[in-house]
Amino acid sequence: MKILLIEDNRAISKGLVYTLEQNGFEVALCENAESTLNSLGGDFDLFIVDVSLPDGNGFELCDEIKRVCETPVIFLTALDDEDSVVRGLETGGNDYLGKPFRKRELMARVGAHLNRYHKSSEIYRAGDLSYDKPAGRVYKCGEELELRKNELKLLGFFMENPGILIPRERLLELMWDIDGEFVDDNTLSVEVSRLRKKLGRWNDREYIDTVRGIGYRWNERGDR
């Protein structure tokens, strides 16, 4: 699992990165609000956010994070007065831990929020896209995409099977199941083309790769 740590104190961040990596997490580090906002399209399972940043504050940053995704946010800060704690929770933060902190307590809270989030969530992410399966909604950079029923069905299947080569025959079966009507090979090509156009590109790459003569592959890793 991947954690984004937002912390400008290098002595603290160095120790935190080491602790998290020793516990099996992949960690990305940002030292200010600007670099964090540029990293929000990444595929993170949890954010650890310092409140006091050189170019902003963690409360405003949490607002931006929650606008894009529902990924858990843990505030880690020296500002542990009641007003700050309340503000942090009201902006959408999932937890608030004051400095100095105990590493074992932090790891326990990280584990608890990750377990809770992944048990209750069927939200798939890739690049700047997120797919809320229960709600049947797709978002790109926080803005909802208008997808038709068959486009949504295709996208959901792709995002649930990242990196897997899916034969055209399997997708034709999937499309046929939507309303029981026959879907031919040409219709499938048109639907994939329309979906690809609506999704756009991520880091100059198409989300859906065509494997000529066989099928398609979702080329961006997605997590549930």
pLDDT over 80 at 189, yes or no: yes
Mean pLDDT over residues 13-22, rounded?
91
Name the pLDDT band for 13 (thresholds 50, 70, 90).
very high
Choice among 6-15, 88-97, 190-199 with the minimum mean pLDDT: 88-97
pLDDT band at 42 (very low <50, low <70, confident <90, very high): low
| Secondary structure (3-state) at 202 | strand
Is residue 219 a contact partner of residue 207, using CB atoms and an 8 Å limit? yes
* 38-42, 205-209, 212-216: range with lowest mean pLDDT: 38-42
Q: With contact defined as beta carbons under 8 Å apart, do 224 and 123 qualify?
A: yes
Contact, 145 vs 131, CB < 8 A? Answer: no
pLDDT given for residue 98 in this prediction: 86
Could you tell me what percent of the chain has a pLDDT over 90?
A: 29
Q: Which residues pair with 75 in a beta bridge?
A: 49, 96
Residue 45: what pLDDT? Answer: 87
Residue 177 has pLDDT above 60, yes or no: no
Q: Is residue 197's pLDDT more than 90? A: yes
Mean pLDDT of 43-72: 88
pLDDT of 144 strictly over 80:
yes
Torsion of CA 78, 82, 85, 91, to 10 degrees: -130
User: Which pLDDT score, from 0 to 100, does residue 146 have?
Assistant: 93
Q: H or E stretch including 48?
A: strand 46-49
In the predicted model, what is the mean pLDDT of residues 148-176? 87
20, with CB counted inside 10 A (0-12, 13-18, 19+), is buried
Calculate mean pLDDT across residues 82-97. 87
For 109-134, write each residue's pLDDT tens digit.
Answer: 898 888 777 655 577 878 788 888 88
**pLDDT at residue 14 above 90?**
yes
Q: Which residues contact residue 35 at a Cβ distance below 8 angstroms, ignoring those fewer than 6 apart?
A: none
222 pLDDT band (50/70/90 cuts)? very low
